[in-house]
Structure 1
Amino acid sequence: MATARQPWSVPGVILFSHGDLSYEVDLFRPLVEELAQSRLGEMTVPAYERTEKKRLREVIVRSLPPTSSDDPELLERMRARLREEAHLATYLQHPRIARTLGPYEVQGVLYIVSDRVEGTSINTLITYSQMREKLLSPAFCLYVGAEAAGALHYAHTCKDENGAPLGIVHRDLNPARIFLEPEGGVILTDFARARSLLPGRVASTLPRPHGDVFYCSPEALLCEETDPRSDLFSLGLMLLELATWRHLYSTATVRPDDLEEALTEKVKGKVLDAAITAMEADLPDHAEDCILRAATFTREEVNEITEPLAHPLRSIVRRLIQRDPEDRYQSAADVEADLRAGLAALGAPYGPKEALDEVLLSLTGASMSRSVLGPTSESQLPPNMVTGEDITNERDSTP
């Protein structure tokens, strides 16, 4: 018989049990930065999956009580969205994608269990390479990009049990969502904000960017239709930052007034609408700058910012971060193929072992100066919690 207890009650508490497995929180662990609660009462906490006799592995458990909001309708939509997330995860069975299990409903509490990925996020590696004042090698960037592109291709082409495309778009691809494992493998995490074509999906009324705005595609920031090519743009931004510490959306060297003057009347209306949406959705203050930059960057600026990249990474990233999706790669499979060809052209083997050796050198050589700050994502563990604005939008429901 399943049991459940409140996750914040006592140290070593069993959150819930399912079959022979239980999920236990050890509150003696430092949780100050790792326990989070949304305004709708969703809790995210690190836990252990265990049997009666021993702990098996570390996981992340998210829970949503049945009565945690003054808005029962919104709460029920949230619960439906979590069920949808868990349902979608059943199709994402890939060695380079972190697993999500559930949903488990125990005494009215809805639980979702996700792998707690061991290793270091690309976000952290970017920061450490800045501290060390030494860029990671082009080979490392090609390797990480190829592995991530392979996982994305799998997700983008997933089909249901009847062979129908699921139309999955991650929508939150950024350096905090990709990890290098202790053995050098690359893991893509957190499809909590993914769009899909699952039957019965929950719709929302507010079109908005669904991920870290620093890494959203122009179409996502301008509240237009997104597709797998939007994820490829985000991958390009991440690879650009990983290889150069630079970011296309940075406004450090431009004046907002100059950007606004570059807008046509038609685009100016889109930017205004997107900025209003950003405020209504309570997006970060820098969202408006990202929206304006996404609407105004030129092909010449793309060429300029990618110029420091080594060949062939330069041409690959340059093609990934074009504003018009038609000018980008049309599939993650094509991106992976070009990245792997570029890696092979270097003439020396480069795989998990070489990536791990390079990262260990970067971590041990990093200066711990706190003055080094980059535009890397601020999101860390625990993974993003779903909010009322994260319900799949009908405007994104076409392939």
Structure 2
Amino acid sequence: MTLIAAFYINNHPVLIGDVLISCPGPSQLIDIPTCDRKISPPEDLERGILELRQKVNIISSNLMVAWCGDWCAAHTLLKELKARSDAANFTRNSLKTFFESDEIRDWMGKAEVCFIGYIIDADGIKEFQYSFNGAKINEIKIPTYGNTFISGSGSNDLIHLLETTVPRQPSIPKKTSEYDDAVIASQCICGALLVTEFKNILSSYGGSFEIATLNKQGMFHKVDITYFLSYVSNCESSNPKLELVKKAYKLIYIKDVLVVYTLSMGQTFRPLILDSVHYTEFPIDEYQRYTIAPCYYPYSPEKEIWSVLSGVSIDITSSLNCNHLLPIEYNNLSGEISLVPGKNTICKPHLRENSSYIVKSPNNRPSTLIIKNEDLDDLRNSYKRK
């Protein structure tokens, strides 16, 4: 199944969506960015995992659409929508005519599929929703997010997150633009979903989460994102300890293709001094890359983008980075790590110019993540202020 959503951040339109394509039968192996590579699926997985595809699609600079439901039906419609948009930009009226035409309804047949999104025309920005054969779209009004559309098997999880968990106004740097505010708030939402990813996979959604919004030039586009997940122990004390920067997820776009890099950091780290500045160096134990095509693509373009990626060094940081701090405790008997009950994960977004994350990549393979101790102290002290 899926999770897609459309909402507003300070009247700024945002679309988010996962990348998982599920199927009725069981999966042989799970190979997705947010799970360890090639692992056996959990026994209580509701549906099998078929492949990865973008649920959020930028059709043109004035039209973005997310879909949920039957993959083949969505591909057929979005491919046609893209072709017509390339010939002439849609307006809200011509878009309505397209979705409600007998031709499109015939193409959809009995497939359960729905679409949500935003369009810009002479009358401004407008959200839209279209559903075929009973595919469910939850339309709710959340006071802090405006008119919100949510669809897919993760709907209840996201509704609960928006209403109770994710703060509407995260702690952000001053003098940010409306665009920055929208992206930062959306990062906090998607990052919170990443933290609960194992539960999400059991409900057949997840794998990674994309964000699309209106950029500073007034056009719809997708956002390059880097998420960092870190463990913090002793978070109830006056001296919290940052145990480990555990994982990093980098999402970038090349020729409309989403490329996800995953870095898994080792259990040991060491101090480092560069130009009299104190850093901490985290070894990278594992690195993977995933390529995920838009829904309107007829194929997965692995070969097409290989030449583009070959020899390109990885810049793990993005214009906006998002740190999620997971409060952990140790079992003194078993030594196992678990999350502290009742203690919330803290989200700490950073603009790129305010962060010091460096990745060493000899021979274009990431080997070490280096972070300034000043930034690590800032992360650790987040729990002190609570």
**TM-score past 0.5 threshold:** no
| Higher RCO (C-alpha 8 Å, min separation 6) | 1
Q: TM (normalized to structure 1)? A: 0.25
More helix by share: 1
